[in-house]
Amino acid sequence: MIVGICGSPRKQATEHVLREALNMLEKMGFETNFFTVRGKKISFCRHCDHCLKHKECITKDNMYELYPLLKEAKGIVIATPVYNGGISAQTKAVMDRCRALVAADRDFFSYKVGMAIAVAGDRIGGQELAIQQIMTFYILNGIIPVSGGSFGANLGATFWSKDTLEGVKKDEEGFRSLRKTVKKFAEFMKKFEVEKQN
Ligand SMILES: Cc1cc2nc3c(=O)[nH]c(=O)nc-3n(C[C@H](O)[C@H](O)[C@H](O)COP(=O)(O)O)c2cc1C
């Protein structure tokens, strides 16, 4: 199973392109689940260290809907809108709240495969900086980070929305970067499944 996490509080460009990515993966034969921060209560990590002692997060909010999806998932797609040249605060809250999962099991995320999508209002608005933050989260949690490769999707899927849903739908280059990234992500997912069975 692949879980797609949308870090936008709106039903707009980021959600649209993440759903497109999950549709592509479904067509390739993967089971997917969509999770959004929109309308959810996901508090910041308050660094109380409860998770280190009790192996669970003390804050019982909507993160508890995502935790089981993350456990089951072999692949993770994080999609964020670009806010001030980086990921949204909502996306960061999700990442920080994953500390409880790692506190309970150091290998919780190990060998899962991850890709990233960033959607900005400007053509060059910080998409790669936002993706870099997602990749850093992947690397430090043992998730294998995958991009679409050079010549179009260097760090992952990057979109220029012009601040509208219609804008992102017209971003042909963005969709090219998405197709390339999804293709590579699917290749990695399949390769790891075969290796794990051997
Ligand atoms: C607080 C805030 C900060 C933003 N900062 C940037 C930015 O640094 N660079 C940029 O290109 N767009 C920026 N934007 C615009 C959004 O990235 C853009 O509208 C994007 O499409 C929002 O995603 P959504 O359509 O899923 O809501 C910002 C928007 C907000 C609300």
User: For residue 76, what are the domain limits?
Assistant: 2-197
E strands, the chain, are 2-6, 32-36, 75-81, 113-120, 144-145, 157-160
Residue 24, domain CATH: 3.40.50.360
Q: How many domains in the chain?
A: 1
For residue range 26-74, what is the model confidence (pLDDT) as tens digits?
A: 999 999 999 999 999 999 999 999 999 999 999 999 999 999 999 999 9
- Name every residue whose Cβ is closer than 8 Å to that of residue 112 and which is 6 or more positions away in sequence: 73, 74, 75, 76, 142, 143, 144
- Return phi, psi of residue 59, to 5°: -85, 105
Residues in contact with ligand 1 (CB, 6 Å cut-off): 8, 10, 12-15, 81-85, 119-122, 125-126, 161, 163
The pTM score is 0.97
How far is it, in rounded angstroms, from Cα 94 to Cα 106? Answer: 18
For residue range 117-141, what is the model confidence (pLDDT) as tens digits?
A: 999 999 999 999 999 999 999 999 9
How many whole angstroms from 104 Cα to the centroid of ligand 1? Answer: 34
How far is it, in rounded angstroms, from Cα 167 to Cα 176? Answer: 15
Residue nearest ligand 1's atom 19 by CA: 163
